[in-house]
Amino acid sequence: MPAVYKPIEFPRDESVHNHIIEWWYFNGRLSGQDGGDYALMSCLFRADVKKVKIPFIANVPVAILYFYHSAISDISRGKFYPNIELANMVSEDSFSKPLLFINHISLNLLAGYTNCVIEETEKFVYHLKDKNTDLRLVSAKPPLLEGGAGFLDLKTKNTYYYSLTSLRAKGRIKVKNRWIEVRGKAWMDHQWANTAYSKDKWTWFSVQLDKETELVCFEYEDRGFKNHLISISYPDGAQKHFKEAIFTPAGEVWVSPKTKASYPLAWNIKTPDGLVNLTTRALAREQEMVFGSINYWEGPIEVGGLFGGREAKGQGFMELVGYESKYTNAKYVKDELRKTMNKFFVRARKNISSIADNVKTKIKLKK
């Protein structure tokens, strides 16, 4: 590890770092009071605009840019509701408390705004709130430090990385303008690095097996180098880590009609010693997130197979990034402008209709 490495400390390192890129990420599988089966993802990103060199944001006239990606999956009905916020404003008092505190809003003048928070109300207890989510998350286990130290050497870059793998979730989500009471199990990742954007590729899984065993598994590829990692959190909080693993597509592929990217939706994950031999399967197909020319698949999975030689099953999330796309930044800007104009005209028609109704009512009253 380089001399600049500092061991992760809590709660200090839950807050912001003066690094090129950083994110706070959550996913979860939720059961609705309405009987529905739901999943959610949310991620707030912080980027040093000039140093990160992401093509789509390179000319934004700010030093630090926050942007927010979130999604709700209605698994029962096969519906997916992605939300890409291109710029978020973070309050002046964010990161000012002893525990993690981020207060942010989307800079979307047409839609109004929602006050959003990622707040640690007590040690490893969080309030996650945005326009479609309002949850209390309570960690049942200590943090998992990926690789053993929470610091990974990926050959072309280094990154700090820890996870809270077993969060009890309770609260509500909004689907099609209807709030639904939910409860379930969630996951949190926090990652920060002094590295610029590159055309890297990763296949990533958060896995929550029965009986409180969780795994983070990934294959990461950048500039000809491949890295593998499986980090395991056992029921008693003990951890084990592997730098060798085998990731094999296991059949079904979904091709995005928008980006033409091909995403393998089923995988087999193994460790050479046979401890892990799991198969994952996506619970939904159309789960693509598109941010300029950056596209990724993000969604819930079911998991089965063998762990420690015994039958195992569970749930989790999969993220597929860097899978080849034919979608361009220019096309993205054009599509976003069209969507914005459509929303503007819909709102304008509603306002005109409301004004007309008020005028008609006043005329009737006068008569």
**How many angstroms separate the CA atoms of 231 and 162, rounded?**
10
Domain limits, the chain: 19-327, 332-367
Task: Please state which CATH class domain 19-327 belongs to.
Answer: mainly beta
**How many angstroms separate the CA atoms of 6 and 284, rounded?**
40
Which pLDDT tens digit goes with each residue over 17-61? 999 999 999 999 999 999 999 999 999 999 999 999 988 788 888
Q: What is the number of other CB atoms lying within 10 angstroms of the CB of residue 63?
A: 10
What does the block give as tokens for 247? 């990731």
Asked if residues 230 and 241 have their Cβ atoms less than 8 Å apart, the reply is yes
Residue 346 has pLDDT above 50, yes or no: no
SS3 92: coil
Which value, in Å, is the radius of gyration of the alpha carbons in the chain? 22
Q: What is the number of other CB atoms lying within 10 angstroms of the CB of residue 302?
A: 14
Q: Determine the pLDDT at residue 310.
A: 96
What does the block give as tokens for 337? 């402008």
Torsion, Cα of 283, 286, 289, 292 (10° steps): 160
**How many angstroms separate the CA atoms of 197 and 178, rounded?**
38
Of the candidates 348, 234, 226, 230, the residue with the CA atom closest to the CA atom of residue 278: 230
CA distances from 115 to 128, 210, 358 (A): 11, 35, 31
Single pTM value for the model = 0.90
Q: What angle do CA 89, 18, 52 make, to 5 degrees?
A: 75
Residues whose CB falls within 8 Å of the CB of residue 188, separated by 6 or more in sequence, listed in order: 24, 25, 26, 126, 137, 139, 163, 164, 167
Q: Where are the beta strands (DSSP E) in 176-287?
A: 178-193, 201-209, 213-222, 225-233, 239-242, 246-249, 253-255, 262-264, 266-270, 276-282
pLDDT band for position 345 (cuts 50, 70, 90)? very low
**How many angstroms separate the CA atoms of 100 and 118, rounded?**
7
Which pLDDT tens digit goes with each residue over 211-251? 899 999 999 999 999 999 999 999 999 999 999 999 999 98
Q: Determine the pLDDT at residue 1.
A: 47
Of the candidates 147, 131, 182, 140, the residue with the CA atom closest to the CA atom of residue 165: 140
Residue that the structure tokens 């960690």 belong to: 139
